[in-house]
Structure 1
């Protein structure tokens, strides 16, 4: 008999609220596993069914893997969390900080004083922000971007994310391209592309084959790609994104339809849900004796899940998550539960009604993907879909139903 959340998701598919989704959950020792693909991979006819092996753009779910790889370099002594990153990324040293909006609409700026560190980059306290996510950056862009620059989507990280900081490093929190720069850091320290480093140090040890930053190099993955859909504002139903819309809607595509050139550590991986769950389960079990597939030392695992934010940054994170869309996109943790940040994702600093325990790490990806890793309960899970816009309220409701339902299943199975 189908679980209640499965029936609700299947009804949402029939009502064209979503095309479909892939659901995964497993526990630390693998004795509990739930995996199901529901719906179709396209809103066009014919509508092939989604598979567990369907390729998706996982967007910011990439950030977790980039964070893990950076901490592997910390374990090896090749990086230190609190050292300035400028010896490896000197381009960041000259970034000014935007300080105030002037009467004429320009933005005052000054050199930043606190060196940017790997810890700042991993916790989104570097001062970097995505375009449109901070009012000072929006105002700055109006006066500093030419028409050509506004229309372009540069193919490299240093070209695309070259804006000023929006606060002094370490003093606040803002979501942005920090993890893309962590990817640059990994490449420059290791001398390998981020894809090669991930393959050798994360994917291959976990038995992962179906992940890549570059679809054009993996036609087998591209052939299994789910089509991106969007919610139609008038009907409320999901529709396929037309070809001429894809360049505007999908950040990994350039104006000519080609892919970005760099391995974007904050958003660039294409993967199947059945492969990504291997990363989550390995992280969940990384504190077990003898499991060295992700980290060499249990101390690294503890640090990865330790709250890292100072007061100003924690207050800003929790303020940002008062917004419904932002909260939906960033894990859906109830507003009354305080959030902090580990070294790989958001931390819930209290037990949640759906069963998640204090210290659970969560994050997601732009096309409405969400993962969680709950070390106390010993459970991890993933909801994976390909629908825009991010933070969609109807999909967030389905995500929460899945998460609560899978905890109920796990509890009943484990007694």
Structure 2
């Protein structure tokens, strides 16, 4: 099979979409990888959207941002690693009423061993890939803190970006390391888009590579890898997921029960998008991904042989312009791949 690639014209189209988006939004990032190479990677725009554009206020490859709910996949991989080592099972009763009462469940972990669990995640997930810019503690050093892109809030009514204060209940980022009581396994990771893409690339490579004479980079067994791409929900749970996806997706009118499912770490799309002309487009059936509150979207498309990460960095989630950009880039990308 010939190696995947994108033409210079496709890359130019993606560049144009990204640059146009960055005129209105905080800095924008888009990375596409195959199992073996980086097909496209670009970032452009303001590091802080509240400051004028220009030198000293530009995102670059070292920029770090909060990836919010896309942290869930990383936690899933870490748990699957423990399962493959025989330390857990999918049915292990980790949290009990007793551990909640004695502060050792892992939610606060004030007295329990789970308080340092993030260090194990770093050893088992990030270090094998040479990733050094991923952490639950973004204020650990002054140098790292300077790389963290400030999260801003878009006020639709006033049509302006603002400092994030109390506009969005439940999403208030820590200001210092001391403010972080415990690593939030469902939404607390800080990383760069390129590093997150390398994790997706590793999973794509491990999942799509022949099982014989192959050692997975992250040490997951074939069954654990497969579980990340296989639906797990009962039929009774599918309507609830469809309702959630309908609220989040630009194609809300199209979502029906069974169109999506949930694996051990990702949302599974069971169909492609359909245009007004009746033709299918975009990611293929079997695409697995999720988004983050800061208008981040990521996913792995095993049939297409790619993984991708798109991100800006602002609230509220699923903002109209950000969703429009992701759709435009998805259309250009898959057309460029001939899919």
TM-score range, shorter chain: 0.7 to 0.9
Q: Normalized against structure 1, the TM-score is what? A: 0.68
CA distance in 2, matches of 1:332, 1:72: 35
* Counterpart selection for 1:251 from 158, 172, 193: 172
* Counterpart selection for 1:50 from 59, 66, 71: 59
Range with greater deviation from structure 2 (333-342 or 360-369)? 333-342
1:21-36 aligned at under 5 Å gives the runs: 21-30=28-37, 32-36=38-42
Q: Is the 8 A contact 1:19 1:41 kept in 2?
A: yes
Structure 2 equivalent of residue 342 of structure 1:
263
1:193-208 aligned at under 5 Å gives the runs: 193-208=116-131
CA distance in 2, matches of 1:12, 1:279: 26
Change beyond 3 A, Cα 1:83–1:322: same
Structure 1 equivalent of residue 92 of structure 2:
83
Structure 2 equivalent of residue 215 of structure 1:
138
Structure 1 equivalent of residue 283 of structure 2:
356
Structure 1 equivalent of residue 224 of structure 2:
300
1:264-343 aligned at under 5 Å gives the runs: 264-287=184-207, 288=209, 289=211, 290-323=214-247, 326-327=248-249, 335=255, 338-343=259-264
Structure 1 equivalent of residue 17 of structure 2:
8
Structure 2 equivalent of residue 381 of structure 1:
308
Structure 2 equivalent of residue 69 of structure 1:
78
CA distance in 1, matches of 2:183, 2:34: 31
Q: Is the 8 A contact 2:294 2:314 kept in 1?
A: yes
Q: State the 1:347 CA deviation.
A: 0.2
CA distance in 2, matches of 1:270, 1:369: 12
Count of residue pairs the alignment pairs up: 313
Q: State the 1:332 CA deviation.
A: 8.0
1:372 is paired with a residue whose SS is: strand
Change beyond 3 A, Cα 1:5–1:236: farther
Q: State the 1:221 CA deviation.
A: 2.3
Q: Is the 8 A contact 2:18 2:29 kept in 1?
A: no
Q: State the 1:27 CA deviation.
A: 0.7
CA distance in 2, matches of 1:316, 1:247: 24
Q: State the 1:343 CA deviation.
A: 0.5
2:281 is paired with a residue whose SS is: coil
Q: State the 1:5 CA deviation.
A: 4.3
Change beyond 3 A, Cα 1:220–1:291: farther
Range with greater deviation from structure 2 (38-47 or 307-316)? 38-47
CA distance in 2, matches of 1:206, 1:276: 11
Q: Is the 8 A contact 2:27 2:49 kept in 1?
A: no
Range with greater deviation from structure 2 (211-220 or 49-58)? 211-220
Q: Is the 8 A contact 1:22 1:52 kept in 2?
A: no
Q: Normalized against structure 2, the TM-score is what? A: 0.82
Change beyond 3 A, Cα 1:257–1:70: closer
Q: State the 1:344 CA deviation.
A: 0.8
2:237 is paired with a residue whose SS is: helix
1:120-171 Cα offsets, whole Å, 9 max, x none, are xxxxxxxxxxxxxxxxxxxxxxxxxxxxxxxxxxxx9746xxxxxxxxxxxx
2:40 is paired with a residue whose SS is: strand
Q: State the 1:248 CA deviation.
A: 6.0
Q: State the 1:28 CA deviation.
A: 1.3
CA distance in 1, matches of 2:183, 2:129: 20
CA distance in 2, matches of 1:375, 1:231: 34
Q: State the 1:302 CA deviation.
A: 1.1
Structure 1 equivalent of residue 5 of structure 2:
none
Q: Is the 8 A contact 1:63 1:266 kept in 2?
A: yes
Unaligned runs of 5+ in 1: 94-155, 160-183
Change beyond 3 A, Cα 1:319–1:368: same
1:366 aligns with 2:293: yes
